[in-house]
Structure 1
């Protein structure tokens, strides 16, 4: 039995896609361990995207703040088999919705946003959901968004 972390981003929340997104996990035998509805703070955003901000700099940080700050997000802990992280990432689909396969969350619900369009518009790509990519990321991200949950 394993766990992973996902977070519904402001674009998913604003479009009311929470139920639809959860159905993708449910039909694959994945359970919700816990979730919360929160307003994203600068501290949490910077901590969550710390590695990416270090790589791409303060301009990227500002784009993340524009996307998240003072907006509603839904951090979620999911549980399932030992391969839960990889399984959830397959269900979520490619980071760039324009390249995500049909049958995935981003492919079906992502409105086809692309990196090229987001760069041209001076923003980050709208891709509905974050999914942790490693056991270390799961622990770190849970400690940021759902610190009362004990791993």
Structure 2
């Protein structure tokens, strides 16, 4: 059974028309797409997703940012996909993200606007975090399991 991870393309990624560019990187790297949803995050989703930060002083800026416009939520899988996706995404702070990573290559706009970190994308950090986050953004019947052509050819 392969690992699943949540990826969110945040409002700045959508507004800058980077959705297909980001998705292509994941598919080209051999990750499998199980779900894709275009939505505007609710306050409840933000609070559940960022539950460890809700009581921190910076949280209102995070909530304003994630709910300000449409996002794209993805479910991806692959063997050890969580560390692979995190490596592809790059450091949380765009200025520290290495070239070749999504943030290093694409998050070139000013890091802050109104204090919120604008870093294009979120990716689950652990299997436990992924399990919680998948439940925030998707119902089980929205996550589709299927065989890729590659799977059928190599089985």
TM-score interval (norm. to shorter): 0.7 to 0.9
Give TM-score scaled by structure 2 length. Answer: 0.85
Equivalent residue, structure 2, for 1:131: 123
List runs of 5+ in structure 2 lacking aligned partners.
146-155
Q: Report if the CA contact (8 A) 1:31-1:78 is conserved.
A: yes
Partner-residue secondary structure (3-state), 1:127: coil
Partner-residue secondary structure (3-state), 2:117: coil
- From 95, 101, 106, the counterpart of 1:104: 101
The 4+ residue runs of structure 1 with deviation greater than 6 A are: none
Equivalent residue, structure 1, for 2:75: 77
Q: Report if the CA contact (8 A) 2:11-2:68 is conserved.
A: no
Q: CA RMSD in A?
A: 1.7
Equivalent residue, structure 2, for 1:92: 89
**Structure 1 residue 70, shift from structure 2 partner:** 4.5
Equivalent residue, structure 2, for 1:8: 9
Aligned-partner Cα distance in 2 for 1:30–1:10: 23
Structure exhibiting the larger radius of gyration computed from Cα positions: 2
1:66 and 1:123, CA in 2 relative to 1: closer, same or farther beyond 3 A? same
**Structure 1 residue 52, shift from structure 2 partner:** 1.9
Aligned-partner Cα distance in 2 for 1:72–1:112: 18
Aligned-partner Cα distance in 2 for 1:126–1:46: 18
| Matching of residues 46-85 of structure 1 within 5 Å | 46-54=47-55, 57=56, 59-81=57-79, 83-85=80-82
Q: How many residues align?
A: 142
**Structure 1 residue 139, shift from structure 2 partner:** 0.9
Equivalent residue, structure 2, for 1:37: 38
Give TM-score scaled by structure 1 length. Answer: 0.87
